[in-house]
A and B are shown apart, each in its own frame.
Chain A
């Protein structure tokens, strides 16, 4: 009888421990970048459900504690502190804007806690400001620009004009594009640059200035309202007639869908053609997402989904929730994603998640990507010795 009671008690204790959830702290600018982050939140929800249905993390359920970081580094650091101290989360994930991502990455380094930067695009988060505790999921500004360069070089156009939002993302994209295209194509000229303030483009004058320069082709890294205004003015004023245009991120549903019948056909973009990806990985994700939310996924959905699965995979590989063990597990971690397998590189903590490169087309009054191909992130990173030079020593 005593033995039976003992076993019973042990089971109860074990049961109670199993019910203790593993907490992952997620912070993001849900109000400031709502168009990207509402689908992102759904992606996280889907992943969390899948992980818990499959037995959770190390036998314990996963709980993602979501917080709004207010879109500023100062608030984000406070929110991260709250997640760490009050909620007692095992690791941090999330952030959107580069300045917020960098601030939280530095906090992660200071507090020695794993941080999976899901979304910020800045190259610095894994290179110049890289640290032991920070890993980044999305393909960076550099990688996505590099994905467009082979297509751009094929055209053999001499005179390029560039337009970009005037902050780090646009500046980095422009610098990377000039460098990479210059290396591939001798004698290429960059004859005009327009750098409107983020969200404040004077599209009419910008389009006119680009037209005056008479470029052979245009490279743009605009997105959101700036992109919509630029496209409409450019279409009206005939800027894009007979001129190839390359636009970073232009095929992401978040930015493409609002353009509707104004979608500029033929633009070469990076993005996410969710309607036409036929791989089993993606088909499974798409079906599950549509079944759960009765809506189609945006790129944010994929990022949120993969970010949560990254954490679960790292914990499984580490077999522990100890930060140092999680960090070691993240190095070289490979996991499946809707875009195929993704590996977090040990050398710089950048994942090899890719993006789709294709052309914009109009179908039933909506913008879609056609003639696309998948660009695996692993193929668009600088050589290892270059990366090592960029990254500070641990």
Chain B
């Protein structure tokens, strides 16, 4: 590569960096102040792009029409964000942690269907920017004029935000709240108002980021989740709440991507940002420019580890055994799915609740188990029992590998590292054609003849899941389980009384990973096929949704959550066109009326 070519790639990377920073800046602000993991940030970006396309078309392709449209789209998304904050999130600040995450996930579903309804299924490509329709020659190569504008705009927005934060009273309050939310509140800062303003600003920035992409990419319905993953990576790599950090991270990732393409290793772009995140977090656990998070003041969950398994559970288990006698056909198929997902959710609930280790990438272990079982069956010709036994082993090994880096991290950084881990495993499955079948995956993973009938496979699944669930419950209430909860509640004190903090976290991960892998193995045999989707972000998110719907506090939560979510999706998808929006609305209703989850709801009634 010549020096001129290199310089030119770097220039292209700069434009990408600016685009990335504009989306990430809003997310960083929102997270820094409100501690909300805003899944809907990508949806705000998408709305900004769609709105800008519509507005610019309406105003005409003049400079005034274009820039007016872009700014108005950004403002409109800011207003929409404000409404979301006031109507939904504001009610949830006192609720258990992570519940806001569930609410923003519901917003994602609703916005997705709303965009389909409003703009139709076809992609909308906007016009080029008036006055910046051409390219100029730099380093002997054509560079779009609009790229140059973006290159300038990124640092300009960073500068403006810096001035806002450093020089204004609003900025001082934002910084105070980022530093210590409770203290700022104690000193008389009106939290509600501050949060609303920050959320409005963050959403408007996301909208602006989207609107500014108008001349570069079409508005399409898949943007939301793609963008939010990118934005999260940038924010975490930069260090939570640090805007210069986010800028640096955007620069690093965008330039590396451009260089991958320039060097002819474009396939690496599939996973490069997650590799960067994993490496950065392994070396600097709080990102490039981040500072350690303040220790949590209250424990996240008051898990009820005590108490014996209520008789109701045994009655339910007995009833479940008899299910094939009364239910045939499809309900049994659905019941198998629910059982498998209940085990997956139970393994995640153990990690997030009692062990206090939040994971955004739990699908990694589910998928590792599924792939281990699938590869053993299809490629190695192993019998089903052996393949199924391999699933938790493979996922357990994955969990140990992950824990080597992960035990040093906590909170959102840990969650994001788990996401990176899942994406790296996903990209391996996606690329390693010879072993995994690549993007198509593996087919022909059917159970052995004696359990190939649905009732038989159901009973097998029920037996495995029930045993695993009881074992997990035993573990949770045993000596190790209590020690792990001690580590969660106060790592420092736990260490002081002689507990091996890293070892206990590793054990927690191992147990959780192995059980998720077991669920994955059961899943592969129940479907007869598997593909990289078993490892994907949406599956991790589904797991979290089930856990939160069910409630973190009770080991019964995952069963209820998996049952409700699976049933809801199944019914909604069959009955209504805009089923995702309906699922989103139901989740919102549950968040409002049953904030402690279904198990918590039933639990309070019992007491």
Q: A31-B580, A208-B12 are in contact. Are A260 and B125 (CB under 8 A)?
A: yes
**Neighbouring B residues of A102 by C-beta, 8 Å:** 440-441, 443, 529
**Pair B443/A259 contact, Cβ less than 8 Å:** no
- B: contact size bracket: 35 or more
Q: Is A284 an interface residue (CB 8 A)?
A: no
**Pair A233/B144 contact, Cβ less than 8 Å:** yes
**CB contact between A254 and one of B122, B215, B533 (< 8 Å): that residue:** B122
Q: Is A153 an interface residue (CB 8 A)?
A: no
Chain B's nearest CB lies how many Å from the CB of A147? 23
**Neighbouring B residues of A86 by C-beta, 8 Å:** 329-330
Chain A 207-222 residues near chain B, CB threshold 8 A: 208-209, 211-212
- A: contact size bracket: 35 or more
Chain B's nearest CB lies how many Å from the CB of A298? 9
C-alpha gap A105/B528 in the complex (Å) = 10
**Neighbouring A residues of B579 by C-beta, 8 Å:** 31, 68
A→B interface (CB under 8 Å):
31-32, 34-35, 37-38, 67-68, 70, 72-74, 77-79, 81-82, 85-86, 98-99, 102-103, 105-107, 110, 122, 124, 129, 166-168, 171, 192-197, 199-200, 202-206, 208-209, 211-212, 224-225, 228-229, 232-233, 236-238, 254, 257-260, 262
**Neighbouring B residues of A106 by C-beta, 8 Å:** 443-444, 528-529
Among A99, A167, A205, A238, chain B packs the most CB atoms within 10 A around the CB of A205
**Pair A225/B222 contact, Cβ less than 8 Å:** yes
**CB contact between A99 and one of B5, B441, B523 (< 8 Å): that residue:** B441
**Pair A209/B441 contact, Cβ less than 8 Å:** no
C-alpha gap A378/B227 in the complex (Å) = 42
C-alpha gap A166/B439 in the complex (Å) = 9
Chain B 104-148 residues near chain A, CB threshold 8 A: 112-113, 116, 120-125, 128, 134-135, 141-144, 147
C-alpha gap A103/B13 in the complex (Å) = 39
**Neighbouring A residues of B512 by C-beta, 8 Å:** none
**Neighbouring B residues of A260 by C-beta, 8 Å:** 125
**Neighbouring B residues of A257 by C-beta, 8 Å:** 122
Q: A103-B527, A204-B12 are in contact. Are A194 and B329 (CB under 8 A)?
A: no
**Pair B220/A204 contact, Cβ less than 8 Å:** no
**Neighbouring A residues of B52 by C-beta, 8 Å:** none
C-alpha gap A102/B8 in the complex (Å) = 43
**Neighbouring B residues of A209 by C-beta, 8 Å:** 261-262, 264, 266
| Given A204-B16, A225-B220, 12 additional A-B pairs, CB 8 A | A68-B573, A73-B527, A82-B570, A99-B532, A106-B529, A122-B440, A166-B266, A167-B438, A205-B9, A206-B261, A208-B5, A258-B124
**Neighbouring B residues of A124 by C-beta, 8 Å:** 440
Chain B's nearest CB lies how many Å from the CB of A35? 4
C-alpha gap A58/B217 in the complex (Å) = 50
**Pair A193/B264 contact, Cβ less than 8 Å:** yes
**Neighbouring B residues of A199 by C-beta, 8 Å:** 222, 226
**Neighbouring A residues of B261 by C-beta, 8 Å:** 194, 196, 202, 205-206, 208-209
**Pair B144/A259 contact, Cβ less than 8 Å:** no
C-alpha gap A166/B426 in the complex (Å) = 14
C-alpha gap A167/B439 in the complex (Å) = 6
**Pair A34/B121 contact, Cβ less than 8 Å:** yes
Chain B's nearest CB lies how many Å from the CB of A41? 10
Chain B 435-481 residues near chain A, CB threshold 8 A: 438-441, 443-444, 446
Chain B's nearest CB lies how many Å from the CB of A71? 8
**Pair B218/A258 contact, Cβ less than 8 Å:** yes
Q: Is B334 an interface residue (CB 8 A)?
A: yes
C-alpha gap A205/B216 in the complex (Å) = 13
**Neighbouring A residues of B349 by C-beta, 8 Å:** none
**Neighbouring B residues of A67 by C-beta, 8 Å:** 573-574
**Pair A38/B121 contact, Cβ less than 8 Å:** yes
Q: Is B221 an interface residue (CB 8 A)?
A: yes
A-B contacts, 28 of them at CB < 8 A, read A31-B116, A34-B121, A72-B538, A74-B527, A74-B533, A82-B334, A85-B333, A103-B443, A107-B529, A110-B446, A167-B430, A168-B439, A171-B438, A200-B270, A202-B261, A202-B269, A203-B217, A204-B15, A205-B9, A205-B12, A209-B266, A228-B125, A229-B218, A232-B125, A232-B128, A236-B142, A236-B144, A258-B124
**Neighbouring B residues of A107 by C-beta, 8 Å:** 528-529
C-alpha gap A233/B334 in the complex (Å) = 47
**Neighbouring A residues of B334 by C-beta, 8 Å:** 78, 82
Chain A's nearest CB lies how many Å from the CB of B569? 8
C-alpha gap A102/B580 in the complex (Å) = 25
**Neighbouring A residues of B8 by C-beta, 8 Å:** 208
**CB contact between A258 and one of B125, B143, B443 (< 8 Å): that residue:** B125
Chain B 180-224 residues near chain A, CB threshold 8 A: 215-218, 220-222
Q: Is B531 an interface residue (CB 8 A)?
A: yes
Chain A's nearest CB lies how many Å from the CB of B567? 12
**Neighbouring A residues of B143 by C-beta, 8 Å:** 237
C-alpha gap A152/B533 in the complex (Å) = 36
**CB contact between A34 and one of B124, B221, B570 (< 8 Å): that residue:** B221
Determine the residue in chain B with the shortest Cβ distance to A254: B122
**Pair A202/B220 contact, Cβ less than 8 Å:** no
